[in-house]
Amino acid sequence: MNIAFITPEYPISSFSGNIGGIGTFTKTLAEQLIKNNCNATIFIHSQFNEEVITENGVEIHLVKKKVVKGITWYTNRRYFNKYVNKVVKQKNIQVIEAPEWTGFTAFMKFNCPLVIRLHGSDTYFCDLENRNVKVKNKFFEKKALTGADKIIGVSNFVAKKTQGLFKLNNDIDVIHNTIDTVLFTPNHQQVKSKTLLYFGTIIRKKGVLEIAKAFNKVIEKDKDVQLCLLGRDNVDIITEKSTLTIFRGLLSEKAKANFKYYEALPYQKVIKYIQRSDIVLLPSFAEAFPMTWLEAMALEKKLVTSNIGWAKELMIDGVTGFTVNPKDSNKFSEKILELLHDNTLASQMAINARNRIINEFDIQQSMVKNIVMYKSILK
C-alpha cells in the first residue's frame, strides 16, 4: 500500500516550527508503515521553503505557503491541494490521512480517499478549556470532517466529544495512539533522585501553572526536590504574557531556587532528560490521547497526571501512577511526595505503567489495525 500524510509539523532538522503530538505520531506511523512493506509520503504544509527529502525510507515534502494578502487561506489551500494531487498521481498514492486541527483540508479534493484522524480540533480544545472557539476555525474544521471518507479517533473520549460538538452523523472508529516500546526503553542508571520533570509545550492548557502551585507545597515538605520544565514557551492565551514568566511569578522564593528551565531540545535529548528524571508530571487539562504520556509510561517513569476524560483510557489511578485533578494543588503535591518517599510503591507503579503500554498500546498492535483500516477504505 501507498499511504500519504498531511501534517503541520514533523520532527526533522529542516523543520523550524514547534513539534507536538501530531508530528511525533505521524513520524512513528510512517516509519512503521515502511517496516511493514508499505510506502509512506509526508506533506508538511505552510512552510517557508519548498524541499523534498527522504529520511528512514519516508519521502517528505515541505510545501511552501502561498501568501496573497487577504486571501491566503484560499491561495495556500489551493496551491497545496494541486501540489499533493500531482504527487498522488506520480506515486500512485492510495490513501491520504490528515488531522482535523483548524480544518486545513476543508474545501480540498484529492485524487484518492481522505482519512481524518482526530488528534483534537481547536473546537475540541476550546470546549475542554471553556473558551470561545474562533468561528472560522470551527467552520473549517466541520467542513474538513464532513469532507472525509473516514474519521478515526485516537481515543473514545475525543471521538464522542467531536461527534457531539460538530453534530456529525459519521461513524467514528477508534484506534488509540501507540508507541514503539523498543525505541522507548527504560534506563534507570542515571536517574537523579528527587527530580521532577514536565516536558512539552509551556502552555496553560497543559496544566503547567498548576505544577508551580503544587511545587510550592512540595518544597515546604522537602527542600531537596528539584523541578525542571522542558519545552517551548508560549504566549498565554488569557494574559497575553509569556507562560514561563507567569509560571516563575507563581513560584515561592524557595521553589525558585530549585527550578530549572530548558528550551526545546532535539528529540533524542528529550528522551534522555525523561530517563534521568525521578518523577514526571503531566497534569494536562486538554488532550486527545497524549504521546507524552505514552512516552513517559513506556520509559517506566513514576507519574502524576490529570484525571480528565481521556486519562481513564490510558492511566489506572494507583496502579500505573497517580491521576489527580490538576487544580487540587493539595492532592497534587501529596501524590508527588508519596512517590518521592515510598520508593517500593513508586517503582512498582512505574513497572506497571510500562507493562500496560507493552500489552495495550504498543505500535505493533496498532499497525495491524491501521493497515486493516486503510485496506477497508480501498475496498
Q: 323-353: per-residue pLDDT in tens?
A: 999 999 999 999 999 999 999 999 999 999 9
Q: What pLDDT is attached to residue 24?
A: 84
What is the C-alpha separation between 22 and 378, in angstroms, rounded? 24
What is the C-alpha separation between 264 and 230, in angstroms, rounded? 6
Residue stretches of the chain with pLDDT short of 50: none
Q: 161-207: per-residue pLDDT in tens?
A: 999 999 999 889 999 999 999 989 999 999 999 999 999 999 999 99
* Domains defined for the chain, CATH in brackets: 2-178+362-378 (3.40.50.2000), 195-360 (3.40.50.2000)
Question: 311: part of which helix (H) or strand (E)?
Answer: helix 311-314
What is the C-alpha separation between 154 and 141, in angstroms, rounded? 17
Quick one: CA dihedral 103, 107, 108, 113, positive or negative?
A: positive
For residue 57, give the 3-state DSSP assignment: coil
Q: What pLDDT is attached to residue 264?
A: 75
The per-residue DSSP string of 60-87 comes to EEEEE----TT-HHHHHHHHHHHHHHHH
Q: What pLDDT is attached to residue 170?
A: 83
CA torsion angle 114 124 155 206 (round to 10)? 120
Q: What pLDDT is attached to residue 379?
A: 77
How far from 158 is each of 230, 303, 308, CA to CA, in Å?
Answer: 26, 22, 12
User: Do 128 and 286 contact (CB within 8 A), yes or no?
Assistant: yes
